[in-house]
Amino acid sequence: MPNRVPIALLIDDSCPLVHVYRYHWEDVHKKAPMTKDGRPLLDVVPNEFLDRFCDVVQRHGMAGKFSIVPAPAGLGDVVHGIAGFAPELTRAWLTTAQTRLSDRFDFCPEGLTHNLAVDLQTGAFLPQGELEWSNLQDRTTLTPYLTRELELLKAVDIDATGFTSCWTFGQKVEAEYLVAMVTAQQAVYQRAFSWYFLHIWHRFPASRPYIAYAQAGKTLVSINSTVDDFFWATIDSPRTDQAYIESITDQLLTADGQAGAIRDVLNAGGWPILMNHWQSFFSNGLETGLAVLDLLGHRVSTTLADEVAWTSCSEIAQWAVLEQ
Ligand SMILES: [Zn+2]
């Protein structure tokens, strides 16, 4: 165990082109998706946004995990491309993720669609969302579903080392979900050691990742988040000024490193594992959240260099095992 505490970004909802949050919003509110201040939510996250995201995380040596929703909102998939766009755009996005992120970030699926559940036999969408569907299943149905998630990523040469649960996918049937994840990793990647993100434990700053499953030579580590997504507010604000960017960053870590949610976790003896969303950095096209991430990276480097080390989820899982 290194003498510095692991810190990580858990980036949810990332995928080629599709602004998946816009589709969640529409499903919940049943009307044209809007920000809280009345701007239409954009349909598309352009590939150039991924380039700028990679610039920021590389500049500061950030690490963690990066979800890739395999069939985002049911509008195509990573293998065949996204409806309405040349398949080359999806391939280019995946190539950028692979070449620029794979050394410091783990990849994982996050549902198949992060929207409606899919009938694996027919490819048709079920009337239930994946969250609702998942919590009524057991290992016999979850295993093929998770296997399909991994197979789609493997088909485009992505090594998915773990799973992210869209919303609280599987939480009500977690004992079955654990077995399904372990079985799917073994089936697709012949992997006996993996991790997953399900638990949002922001009220428990002292918490650390832990072994959730260890049977018959298979180990699965639960990586729970301990720091909330303060970037999210940028989706609903037109502000992009420096004072606003600093005010959001302060909630995570102040300029002197002495306050904010990350400091609270360190003081409590936990590991700062930051829940984030692709849409929170995109900020409906304004990219204010990405500017916050850039400032946060600078603050971590300048004030916490002796205390924390940016760490990928695979590395965190290994450290969690050594700690037990
Ligand atoms: Zn999600």
Ligand 1 center–CA 302 separation, angstroms: 31
Ligand 1 center–CA 3 separation, angstroms: 32
- Which regions in the chain score pLDDT beneath 70? 1-2
Spell out the residues 6+ positions from residue 186 whose beta carbon is closer than 8 angstroms to its own.
Answer: 192, 218
Ligand 1 center–CA 232 separation, angstroms: 13
Ligand 1 center–CA 61 separation, angstroms: 24
| 94 vs 75: CA distance, rounded Å | 16
Ligand 1 center–CA 28 separation, angstroms: 14
Task: Please write the tens of the pLDDT for every residue from 103-116.
Answer: 999 999 999 999 99
Ligand 1 center–CA 280 separation, angstroms: 11
Predicted pLDDT of residue 27: 84
Predicted pLDDT of residue 173: 98
Ligand 1 center–CA 64 separation, angstroms: 15
**Beta-sheet strands, E only, within 169-255:** 193-197, 210-215, 218-222
Ligand 1 center–CA 281 separation, angstroms: 14
Ligand 1 center–CA 191 separation, angstroms: 24
Predicted pLDDT of residue 190: 98
Q: Cα 57 from chain centroid?
A: 14
Ligand 1 center–CA 166 separation, angstroms: 4
Pairing of strands 162-164, 193-197: parallel
Pick the CATH number of 5-323 from 3.50.50.60, 3.20.20.370, 2.30.30.90, 3.60.20.10: 3.20.20.370
Predicted pLDDT of residue 2: 59
State whether residue 129 is helix, strand or coil.
strand
130 φ, ψ (degrees, to nearest 5): -65, -35
Q: Cα 251 from chain centroid?
A: 20
Ligand 1 center–CA 18 separation, angstroms: 13
Predicted pLDDT of residue 187: 98
Q: Where are the domains of the chain?
A: 5-323
Ligand 1 center–CA 2 separation, angstroms: 31
The two tokens of residue 5 are 């505490």
Q: What is the largest CA-CA distance in the chain?
A: 56
From residue 92, give the alpha-carbon distance in Å to each of 74, 86, 87, 89, 151.
20, 10, 9, 5, 19
Ligand 1 center–CA 167 separation, angstroms: 5
Predicted pLDDT of residue 249: 98
| 261 vs 218: CA distance, rounded Å | 34
State whether residue 6 is helix, strand or coil.
strand
Ligand 1 center–CA 257 separation, angstroms: 29
Predicted pLDDT of residue 213: 98
- Tell me the residue type at 283: S
Ligand 1 center–CA 32 separation, angstroms: 20
Which DSSP string corresponds to 76-128?
EETTTEETTS-HHHHHHHHHHHHHHHTTTEEEE-B-SSSSEEE-TTT-PEEEE
Ligand 1 center–CA 110 separation, angstroms: 7
Predicted pLDDT of residue 323: 84
Spell out the residues 6+ positions from residue 203 whose beta carbon is closer than 8 angstroms to its own.
Answer: none
| 64 vs 52: CA distance, rounded Å | 17
From residue 245, give the alpha-carbon distance in Å to each of 49, 236, 239, 277.
18, 14, 9, 17
